[in-house]
Structure formats: C-alpha cells, structure tokens
Chains A and B, each alone.
Chain A
Amino acid sequence: MEFVLSQLAGFGHAFAALVADPLTYLYLVFSVFLGITFGALPGLTATLAVTILTGFFGNKIPLDYSLIALLGAYVGAIYGGSYPSILLNIPGTAASAATAMDGHPLAKAGRGGEALGLTTTASFIGTIIGTLTLLIFVWALLLVSKNIASPEKALLALFGILLSGTLMSEDLVLKGWISGLIGLAMAMVGLDPLLSEPRYTFGWSYMLSGFQVVPVLMGAFAIPQIIEGLRHVEAGKVMALKGSILPNLSTVRRHLPTIGRSGVIGTGVGALPGVGEDVAGWVSYGVGKTVSKDGKNFGKGSLDGLLCSETANNACIGGALIPLLVLGIPGSPPAAALLGAFKINNVIPGPTIDPEIILRVVAILVLASLTMFLMGLFTARVFIKILKIPQTVFLPVVMVLTTIGSFSVGGGINDLYLMLGVGFVAYFMNLMKYPIAPLVIGVILGGLFDETFRRSLFLSDGDLSVFVSRPGAAILLVLNLALILSQLPPVKRLFARLKGAPA
C-alpha cells in the first residue's frame, strides 16, 4: 500500500508540474486535435500520426514537450477512429474495426449521438485504466528487469519480433516472421556495435551509421498509405448525428463492469510485445461476446459490444508503454514510433531509464485522455465535418510533411532516398499481405538483439548453455520455441485433433 501511495505522490508532483506549465496546453490541444483528425480520416492511422510527429517534433523541442505531442496524438488517434466507424461504417484505424460492428447499427437506429458519447467516455476510462496499470506495474517490472542480463534481453527481443509476426499476420504466420527477419537484417547494416566491423555498406559511407529509425518509420508507415490512399473513393454518407453526445451517467454506470473488463483486457494485450490496439479491440470484443448477457446482440447495435472494443483499444496504450519503458521493446506499432522518438533524444528505455520520465509519461497520458474526453464531447461536430475531406486532398500534404520531417531528423538527402526505398518495399509487402509492424520492430530491436546475443556468447566463451542455465533465459527460450513449434503444421494438426477429441 505504501508503495502505491508513493507512486501516486510521485505522479502528483509530475502532474502538478505539467498543469502549471502553460506550454503544456498548447502542445496538448494541438496534438490531441491532430490525433483525432488522423484517426477520423480513413486511410490515416495512429501509427502515422505518431510517426509524422516524431519527424516533426522528435528532437527539435525539449523531450517533455515532444512526449506531450506524441502521446497526445497517440491517444487522440486511437479514439478518433471511432468517428468513421460509427458514422460511416468505415473504421478510421484498424483499432476501431470492431467498433463499426455495433457503432454503425446504433447510428442507423438514430442513436449515433449516444454511441459517440459512450465511446468518448469509454475511451477516456480505458486510457485511465491502462495508465494506472502502467504507473503501478512498470515499477514492479523495473525491479525485476534489473536482474535481466544480456541472454534474457536477446531472447526477449527475439520473442517480441516473433510474437508480433505471429499475431499481426493476416495471411500465413510465416509472412510475419519473414517481415521481422527482414527488419532484423536491415538493422545489421553499418558498423557492428561490438567490434565496429562494417557490414553490407557496399562502400557507401552513409551506410556506415546504419539505417536511421525515422526515415525507416516514415517509409514503412507513411509511403504505402499515401500510395494506397490516392485513389478515387466514393465518399460514404455520413450519418446525421441524432441525440445528445453528453453521456447519460446511469448508462455509463450500468456498463461499468464491461468497461472495467475491457480495460483490463486491453491493457494486458497491449503489454504483449509488438501486439497493437486492433488485436486488443478484437480480443475484448470476442471475450465480451462470450461472457456478456447481451452477447447475442453483438453486431446488431449492442452498447456492450461497442464499449468492449473502444475501451480496450484505448486501454492498450498504457499497456503498450509497459514493455517499451521497462525493456525498450515496443508494445504496439505506434509505440515503435515512440521508441524512435526516445532514441533520437538519446533516451534509452529499459532498466536504466530515468524514473522521472516514467512519471511524466503517466501524467501526460492522464492529461491527454482528459483533453480527448473534453474535445470528444464538445467539439465532436468539428470532427464530423473533417470526415468529409477526401483522402486525395489530405494525403499530398502528408507526403510533404513526411518529406520535411524525415529530412530534418537526419539533415541529409540520403534519408529521403532510404524513406522512399523502404516505402516502395513496404507497399509491395502490404500488397502480398506481409505485416509491416514486425519489420519496423525488427529494425528497432535488431541492434539490441545483435549486441546482447553476442555479448552473452562472448561472456560465456561461446558456451550456448548460457541461454538455458539462467532461469529467466530458459523460460524465454522455451517461450520462443513454443511459439515457433505451435505454428508448425503437424503441431497444429495435433492440437486440432486433441481439441476435436471427446473429453
């Protein structure tokens, strides 16, 4: 109890410092507005919002303000995706795909205002649940992580890449792993971290420092979306907003158990390395459908169904920051962009991170969710108007933003060539249903994996048993192997047979 109170006191100080700074509000309002706009426009995603702002704000303003801008956009964009889901039946972001299942039928039934008000409230409560979990668990995990040495770090990085590859694949799991390995391979370019041996530089001095994170992020997330979005799409009919957006307190109270459960599920899924808000939304929706009394009405305009996905995808934000801050492994694709921002500010997330930064992150998340809540309730009609802007008008400006952001981080034209090259490759990978998030996570974690894997072997004089002799490493090795084995066809068949066998 004393520990929790001391945490809350630390959070209180960080929160008060933020509230007292007038610049906080400027960055908060701007970034949350931009985030909701990105979320609301189909074709633009939360990852893109955070990535573009990383290029724009990453290392140009003090870290505190840049974190406000990035986290504000992250929270806003995940929430903003609910607007087109409810009013257009087109998910604004992948995270809001499950929201459309019940949100749109509600809007068609003339309950669009009620649906938007409830999603705003649920997103707010979800973010707070995730944030509080982050505040409490991150410290316990940081204590544990102090005992994590190179073998565990290497296996954990590998687990993050494999898990994200497994869970993000739309088609074959193999494709997720290939994507992760391509990312790892890209991270091998340049001078190696232990011996400064040049690798795959082809005599080009630019390659000696390896691929920069921000151009890779921009290329992987922005360029494919720009290419994909520049097409004629018949504008969907935005449903007229009927009813008040302000939520009915008794309705919120009635659905609190659903909101609480979905918040916990969202935070838990977010804490898994590399798994994003979309998975959180669907998992929570699936669980809700099974356990809720209203389960049979899911997909037909159930408020329970709507709240399941919307609470979980926002709660996922706090969860996704737990592995990021404790281990330096992003919990979701937007968190990967955040890691990029930390890196260009020379902050290395992990056991050695400055505890003050964690408290500030928590305080920023609380303020951002509050800003989102107020904006959602009182300026919803502005965002509904934004829904009518065609992608073909918005995306060219995004391209210019991406170009100048990517250029300014590295200050070189080669970064733009890299961004474009990665973008074209990512577009074709998307076309062939290869997930892009594992690639980016591979690029970000590649250096860590390389360094810690080789350091483990170096310290043990090449003895491979270092990966089984330490309990933590042994558990992680088993998890990695289990993850790979579970996807092999004979094992899958065996599981299917066991599942089908009578009890």
Chain B
Amino acid sequence: MEKAEDILVLRARDFWASLVLGATSVFFLWKTMDIPLWGENKAGVSGTQWYDSAAIVPLFIFVGLLCLSIALFVISVRSGGARHALGAAGIGWNPDEAFRFSTIGLILLAYVGGLVPRVDFILCSGLLITALIFGYYGGHPRRAMIACGAVCLAGFTSLLLYPAQADWNAHADDWITLGIWVALTIPVLIKARSERLLRVVPYIAVLAPFILVCAMAFGFRQNVPARGGLLFQQIEYHYYVTLRPIWKG
C-alpha cells in the first residue's frame, strides 16, 4: 500500500518534471535557431552545410528531450500522477524535509555566493563547519534555524557590502564573519556539556580549513579563494618572509 502511494507521489513529480523539461526543451530549440543551420552567407563567405552545422547535434538532443518529456507526461497522466499533482497542493515533500532542504540550500548559497569569494577561507569555512554540525547533528529544527541564520547573515551582509569584485579584498566582512562564528560557537560549547560530540566542533572548524588551505596554497602551489583574506594574508606573509627562509637558507 505504501509502495503504491510512493509511486503515485513519484508520478506526480514526474508530471511536473515533464512540463518543466518540455518547456526547457522548447526554449533551447528556439535558442538553437540562432545557430546557423542552412549554410548562411555572412559577409560574402558561404557558411556551413546542414551536416556540419554546430546546430545539428543540439537539435538532435533537444528534439530527443522533447520526445522523452512527452513520453514521461503520458506515463504520469496514465498512472494517475497528474490527478495527484493537481489534486494535492504539494509533490509529496513533507514539511520537515522541505525545511531541512531549504535551510541547507540557503547555507550553501550564502557560503558559495557570498562568503567564499569575499571572506577569508579559514573564517568562512570555520563558520560553515560549525553551523552545519551544530544545526544538523541530532536533528533539532531550532538549531538548524540558528545555524542557517548565522551563515546567511554573514554571507548576505558580505554580498551587500561588497558586491563588486574590486572590493572583495576589503576586511570589514571578515571581521563580521569572525564575530558571527564566535557568537555561534558559544551555544555550541554550552550544548557540548550534554552532547559530548559537540566538543570537537571548534577544533574541526579551525583545523580542517587551515590545513586544507595551507596544503593547497603552499603544498600544491595553487590558487585559493580570497587570497587577501584577514588570516590568510598573514599566514602567506609569514610563510614566505619568516618560515621559508629557514629551510631555503
């Protein structure tokens, strides 16, 4: 019985997916029309034949996707997915799951979109690790909300303060992130009295990004995000000025 219900939910999702997929395929078929297909003549130079046009394979792909989305639509309608999708408001996603996904999605968005380009990598990753472990270990929705709020506050403040790439090296957002990280660590330490595992969070949050960023920058000599960040700038300076001369003579 439960399995039949699961399949019905799946078909309801397929119904919406087929509509989205169909619309996307039509949009990209329309965009494909911008690519010369029939040997156009540009500035007196004859263009390509249909068979080596850059549009031929995309046409094949998007026509294929359109056909498959129609087939998916038919399957979902025949198996009652359309009725279920239109009758019930949702797509079978329970509120807890929607909350969990939304908060994690927002955290990742704030981290990648707001923090990583602008804020010191150790600081923003430390905040992320603290927030994710505190928010999702043990399954407490209130903690997830606090964690999400903390990362979003840091991420979106940084985004709003320094939207232009030219300002990404400024440090005000580094200090704000550091402040939020310390503030979030306080409830972590309070809860750590009853949940022993939380005691390791500050260590992981500091050590993991520190080791990774140093390995990447000095071990593999690769570019790292926010090179001019509050902490990394100092680490890099002392690595090249204080430490490296020791073994380089």
Chain A interface residues toward B at CB < 8 A? 56, 60-61, 171-172, 174-175, 177-178, 181-182, 184-185, 188, 192, 194-195, 197, 199-200, 223, 226-227, 230-232, 390, 392-393, 395-397, 399-401, 403-404, 407-408, 411, 413, 416-417, 419-420, 423-424, 427, 431-433, 449-450, 453-455, 457-458, 461-462
Contact = CB atoms under 8 A, between A and B. Distances in A.
A416 B71 CA distance: 34
Nearest to A442: B61
Nearest to B204: A397
Contact of A416 (B54, B75, B116): B116
Given A200-B28, A227-B105, A403-B112, A457 B17 contact: no
B28 A404 contact: no
Interface stretch (B45-53, B156-164, B182-190): B45-53
B57 A396 contact: no
Given A178-B65, A199-B54, A413 B216 contact: no
Contacts of A175: 72
Given A182-B65, A404-B213, A396 B129 contact: yes
A69 B104 CA distance: 31
B113 interface: yes
B115 to A, nearest CB: 10
B172 interface: no
What class of interface size applies to chain B in its complex with A? 35 or more
B91 to A, nearest CB: 9
Given A188-B58, A227-B101, A400 B209 contact: yes
A404 B40 CA distance: 45
Contacts of A226: 104, 108
A55 to B, nearest CB: 10
A498 B59 CA distance: 37
Interface of B: 10, 13-14, 17, 21, 28, 31, 35-36, 48-54, 56-58, 61-62, 64-65, 68-69, 71-72, 75, 100-101, 104-105, 108-109, 111-113, 116-117, 121, 125, 128-129, 132-133, 136-139, 197, 200, 204, 208-209, 212-213, 216, 220-225
20 contacts: A56-B216, A178-B65, A194-B52, A200-B31, A226-B108, A227-B108, A231-B100, A232-B136, A393-B137, A396-B128, A399-B128, A403-B116, A404-B212, A404-B225, A407-B225, A411-B223, A416-B225, A427-B101, A432-B13, A450-B57
B225 A392 contact: no
